[in-house]
Structure formats: structure tokens, C-alpha cells
Homo-oligomer: A and B are copies of this chain.
Amino acid sequence: MIKNIAIAAALVIVGANADLVEKAKEAGLKPIPNSISELLKVIDNPKNPITKGKIELGKKLYFDPRLSKSALISCNTCHNLAIGGDDNVPVATGHKWRQNPHHLNSPTVYNAVFNVRQFWDGRSPDLEDQATGPIQAPVEMAQHPKVAAEVVKSMPEYKEAFEKEYPGEEITIKTIGKAIGAFERILVTPSRYDDFLRGDKKALSDEEKEGLKTFIKVGCASCHNGIGVGGGSMQPFPLFGKYKYANLGDFKGNKNGMVKVPTLRNILQTAPYFHNGATYDIKEAIAIMGENQLGKKLSEKEIDSIATFFKALDGKKPPITYPVLPTETAKTPKPDLN
């Protein structure tokens, strides 16, 4: 009898789990594919197919501060792969300690491949294109695109790698962006959440399952969905009421007032939050999202529960060997700190 009760209870839990996976799928939540061929379908770019050589070349460029005007700032400075793929400061800070004029916060590069558009205003269609932006932005790496190309071309090892990976293509800021983009495409971080969506009932704790339920129930998943748990659409912000930190920065979204929904993968590693880095407090961020995007005041219990679910979104980072970069030559343009 006791045994039967235990079995019945187990079946109820399994049933509840099955329901939850079903509900998650209905809500548009999808796992990162765990076979390489399926994964490639969602991360590869037909116009710049991933190869081992491109990944290696792109990694070098990603970590190379000599692409910047000062030779001190690399992609990795603001999108630091050691700390969640972003920086820790509210506002992106670059060349000459200049800060983003719209008080924009550096978004994470991890899982950015799942974003439908790049940049907070979605002005860039893909990672290859996006990567060319910060290299040139006066408040970021501040480099002239021609000088960036000259830096790369001045080092034979880079030149040979480009000739091999992009035969017949001139080395320009565009090909540099392509190589960096190829590397960024592999920066995906599968987590216990993906295991759960694929049917591993024990991958999440009961509290995390409860959190996922709440996340779906209150409506978060209406925007934070897809493989990226976000990144799939542009939305008005705020949609309801007045955003508490509206006075921080002057970013108004794209020309239609739309802002890219960020991925929530590794969200606990990417404080401060929002496009303007207004708060380091994930619970405050959840509360604000409830008010401004769902038009409802979430209870403390709901907020706690959603924050607990977020633990399951902490993913496994791809191991990265820190590159040894080619040495400058006499032809390499000299850094300019001004």
C-alpha cells in the first residue's frame, strides 16, 4: 500500500514534469540542440560557414587589443568571456575612458548567436556585421577601419590565416568581422535547463521547476522564448506605465521605439541589468519587468521563484585556450592613445 502510494506520487511528479516540459514548449521555449548537426543548423551562417580555422582566427582577433586605436581594448574587454560574456559596469566604457553616449550597457556575447538582430536597437543583422561596429566606435575601440585592416595585414600569420579561410577576399574590416563572427557563433552555453527541456526530469530542482512554471504563467516567456530565452524579437520598452529608471540615458530604441529583448541565459552573471545597466539587483529587475512589460505587480514569491529558476540558466562555457597572438612587424601601425 505504502509502495503504491509512493509510485502514485512519483507518477504525479512525472506527470507534472511532463506537463511542465509540454507547457514550456507551448510557450516557445526551446533547448540548445545537443547534436552538432542540429546545433549547426541554428548557429551557422550560410554566408560565412563555420570552420575550425575561422573559429581559431576569430578567437585571436576577438582577444587582440591591437585592433583598437590604443592597442589596449579588445572585443573581450567589454564582452569578457571570463565573466559572463559582458563587463560589470553599467555603461560601456572604452577609448580614453569615454562612455556610451546613450548610457548603454554591454550585452553578453554568449548565446548572442540566437539573437534575431544585434545591438540594443537591433540595427545589425548578424554577428559578422555587429563585430565591425565596436572596433570603429569612437567610444569603444575607436579604430579607423582601414587601420584595423592594416594592423591585421602587417602580421604574416594573420595574413596567411585569412588567405586560407577567406581565399580571394581582401582583408578589410568586413572580413575581420566575419572571422570574429564565426568565433562568436560557437559561444553557446547549454545548461541544466536544456537537459530538462529534453526530458531529464532531475535536471532542475523542484524550486527551479516551480520558478519555470511561474516564469511561463506570469507571461515572461511571451518575449523571453526561443532557444535564447530572449533575443528573438524587438519590443516596446516600457509597454506599461513608467520605467523607474527612464531618466538614466537617452536610449529610445530603434526608430519605432523598439528594444531588443535580451537573452536570459546566464542572466545571474550579467548584472547590471537593462539596456542602461540601471540595477545590479535581479529581483528588482524582475519586478520592473513585471510592471513595465506585463503590466502587473509580481508578488515577492513570484519574483523569488523566477530568480530561482534563473539559476538553471547558468550554462557551461566552451573551453577556450587563451591565444598566443602574432607579433607586430615594422609595418604594424603604432597605437595611438589620443
Give the complex CA separation of A66 and B93 in angstroms. Answer: 14
Taken residue by residue from 265 to 284, chain A's Cβ proximity to chain B (1 for < 8 Å, 0 otherwise) reads as 00011010000000011000
A211 to chain B, nearest CB (A): 18
In the bound complex, do residue B319 and residue A321 qualify as a contact, i.e. CB atoms below 8 Å apart? yes
Taken residue by residue from 79 to 90, chain A's Cβ proximity to chain B (1 for < 8 Å, 0 otherwise) reads as 011111001110
Copies, count? 2
In the bound complex, do residue B82 and residue A335 qualify as a contact, i.e. CB atoms below 8 Å apart? no
A74 to chain B, nearest CB (A): 9
- For A23, list chain B residues within 8 Å (CB): none
Which single member of B66, B271, B325, B328 contacts A328 (CB below 8 Å)? B271
A102 CB-CB contact with B under 8 Å: no
Known: A317-B324, A322-B320, A325-B82. A97 touches B96 (CB 8 A): yes
Taken residue by residue from 185 to 220, chain A's Cβ proximity to chain B (1 for < 8 Å, 0 otherwise) reads as 000000000000000000000000000000000000
The 8 closest A-B pairs by CB, nearest first: A71-B88, A97-B97, A320-B322, A322-B322, A82-B325, A269-B327, A89-B335, A96-B97
- For A80, list chain B residues within 8 Å (CB): 65
Give the complex CA separation of A337 and B97 in angstroms. Answer: 9
- For A65, list chain B residues within 8 Å (CB): 80, 83, 87-88
Give the complex CA separation of A281 and B268 in angstroms. Answer: 47
A147 to chain B, nearest CB (A): 14
- For A91, list chain B residues within 8 Å (CB): 337
- For A327, list chain B residues within 8 Å (CB): 83-84, 268-269, 314
In the bound complex, do residue B63 and residue A82 qualify as a contact, i.e. CB atoms below 8 Å apart? yes
Give the complex CA separation of A310 and B64 in angstroms. Answer: 24
Which single member of B77, B268, B335 contacts A88 (CB below 8 Å)? B335
A159 CB-CB contact with B under 8 Å: no
A273 to chain B, nearest CB (A): 13
In the bound complex, do residue B322 and residue A83 qualify as a contact, i.e. CB atoms below 8 Å apart? no
- For A84, list chain B residues within 8 Å (CB): 327
A268 to chain B, nearest CB (A): 6
In the bound complex, do residue B317 and residue A320 qualify as a contact, i.e. CB atoms below 8 Å apart? no
Most buried by B among A82, A320, A335: A82
Query: A99's closest neighbor in chain B, by CB?
Result: B337
- For A64, list chain B residues within 8 Å (CB): 82-83
- For A281, list chain B residues within 8 Å (CB): 330
